[in-house]
Amino acid sequence: MTRADAAPFRARFVAPLLWGTSLNPINSSIIATSLVAIGTSFGVGAGQTATLVAAVYVASAVAQPAMGRLATQFGARRVFLAGLSIVTVAGIVGVFAPSFSWLIASRALIGIGTAAGYPSAMAMIRARAESAGTGIPGGVLGGISIAGQVTAALGLPLGGVLVGVWGWPAVFAVNIPLGLLGIMMTLLWVPADGPRTRSSVRTLARALDPVGMALFAATVNALIALLSDVRHPNWWFAAVCALALGGLIAWELRARHPFIDVRMLARNGPLVRTYLRQALTLMAAYTVLYGYVQWLEEGRGLGPSVSGLVMLPMSAVAAVGAAVIAPRALVRGPLLLSAIAIVVGAAAVTLVDAHTSVVLLVALSLVFGVVMGMNSTANQAALYGQTTADDIGVASGLLRTSSYLGAIFASALIALAFPGRATDAGLHLAAVVMIGLGVAVLLLVVFDRRLPWRVR
């Protein structure tokens, strides 16, 4: 027995994976504090600066499953390193961007590069566990969930400090040391992939399925465009989304190496239900994360720093919850508790108003911390048991994509509830929708007979 077999998940192996998978959530939140400064510097409005946020979500949504497929085809460590390299280059492009368009390109590269982290890390973890003959490495998977939640929470204050000290270019420049350090740790501590045969451009094209990728990207972009003005939707975008989705399904059913394996999804109902639970729960969670905070400032009249402190316990509870359930690889119980927390928390939100005590508002953030900590960790464990080693890279990428879709729908709900300022009535409307989301998730858990209590 080798040393790796005796202790397959030593800290040196796990640390680079946690590092790489954290770059996407931190880049998703760190940009928020620099948008005003960027708009002033380049003379663009809030609508244009918002594309810097959307660029990462769109690029990541498409790139996540693509990176999972590349990890299977060419080696997970190689793809992991390639992603870190792209992040480093993206930081350089952002720092020296001569125009706003270059900043958008930098953010798109960040989305593509950081998208490599999660699916390739999951592939490496699964391969190492099977090689060592161990069960599900719950502690490692929980660490990935905790790292993502903590870094996403730290992104806002970190971005504020960077912009305050060095200006907006700092939120791009920070990716240079982050990428280089990740590369160094991976080269030193993560074993190299096995040898591979030389691949031609045709082999790469088959692995990526560019037509499937283009149709998937068209579907996602049309959906975002449709939801960007939910009060006055442009139904042409709905038609484009439906046509692109239909074309995607038709193409993938015939493709030899499909980008989205529609047949596999049709056979694997439990996995599809995991994606649906993730999207619905994250829609509720992101509505709280962004909509509730907006109401705290505009509806309740709290300052930005106080609003941040009100929400801070949510991140702490999320991290603790993930740490408790991850080592045991629990699934059904945490998902039930998460769904109930959505319903109870959203019902409580319908009762708050501009005069509600700050203590009670903090208590509400604790309830939704349970949702954040238990849902993603449990769904991640469920996915691990619902896929094979060959499929886990793409499947993990699609799990992240379902999270982004939840965030997209949450943005639409917030826009519907708060057309101008964040009011009590708008918050209550969002809460009613969240109750419906919680009930839907609860039904998905209760009536899914193939959902285990734990994964072994």
Comparison of pLDDT for 27 and 90, the residue scoring more: 90
Question: Is residue 147 domain-shared with residue 242, that is, in the same domain?
Answer: no
Structure tokens at 143: 């660490």
Residue 197 in this model has a pLDDT that exceeds 70: no
Nearest to 178 by CA among 105, 86, 108, 245: 86
d(CA 100, CA 367): 40
Question: Is residue 363 domain-shared with residue 281, that is, in the same domain?
Answer: yes
- Report yes or no on 194 lying in a domain: no
pTM of the entire structure?
0.81
Comparison of pLDDT for 18 and 9, the residue scoring more: 18
Count other Cβ atoms within 10 Å, centred on residue 196: 10
Residue 298 in this model has a pLDDT that exceeds 80: no
CATH number at residue 415: 1.20.1250.20
Residue 316 in this model has a pLDDT that exceeds 80: no
Structure tokens at 167: 């200006």
d(CA 226, CA 329): 38
Which residue range(s) make up the domain with 414?
Answer: 260-456
Question: Is residue 269 domain-shared with residue 149, that is, in the same domain?
Answer: no
Q: What is the mean pLDDT of residues 419-438?
A: 89
Residue 400 in this model has a pLDDT that exceeds 90: no
What's residue 4's pLDDT?
45
Query: What is the number of domains present in the chain?
Result: 3
CA distances (Å), origin 172, targets 110, 230, 266? 9, 31, 41
Residue 74 in this model has a pLDDT that exceeds 80: yes
Question: Is residue 266 domain-shared with residue 246, that is, in the same domain?
Answer: no
Question: Is residue 61 domain-shared with residue 180, that is, in the same domain?
Answer: yes
pLDDT band at 50 (very low <50, low <70, confident <90, very high): low
pLDDT band at 196 (very low <50, low <70, confident <90, very high): low
Residue 77 in this model has a pLDDT that exceeds 80: yes
Location of structure tokens 């510097």: 41
| pLDDT tens digits for range 110-165 | 999 999 998 899 889 988 888 877 777 877 887 887 787 777 767 766 777 787 78
Question: Is residue 281 domain-shared with residue 368, that is, in the same domain?
Answer: yes
Q: What is the per-residue DSSP string for 257-325?
A: S-SS-HHHHHH-HHHHHHHHHHHHHHHHHHIIIIIIHHHHHHTS---HHHHHHHHHHHHHHHHHHHHHH
| pLDDT tens digits for range 239-264 | 999 999 999 999 999 888 788 888 88
d(CA 205, CA 198): 14
